[in-house]
Structure 1
Amino acid sequence: MSETPSGDTSSGVRVGVVGATGQVGTVMRRLLAERNFPVAEMRYFASSRSAGTTLP
């Protein structure tokens, strides 16, 4: 895990989920939530085909 730009990781880490609307991305989002992964900031990335898709 890398530190946040400020160097402070006490409040969690910055996480990006690539392919967030696909099957693997959906599983990753669920696992991060279920396991209470310490997230300071979450960003989701998907293809242009998924533009406007709402994530649960």
Structure 2
Amino acid sequence: MAYVISSDCISCGACAGECPTGAIVEGDGQFVIKADECIDCGTCANTCPTGAIKEGE
């Protein structure tokens, strides 16, 4: 299951730079993860300074 970014996102972009597949893009007001491109590696979650990224359900 792909990771998701919650409303706790502060749009810093740290996660986008670390994503090995480029699945994280800037959305309307916050970054979003393209579920079909996410490989579920967790790199983004480990990089997020606010803990806004979690495993999807």
Could you tell me the TM-score, scaled by structure 2's length? 0.25
Q: Give 1 or 2 for the bigger CA radius of gyration.
A: 1
Report which of the two has the higher share of helix: 1
Could you tell me the TM-score, scaled by structure 1's length? 0.25
- Of structures 1 and 2, the one scoring higher in RCO (CA 8 A, sep 6+) is 2
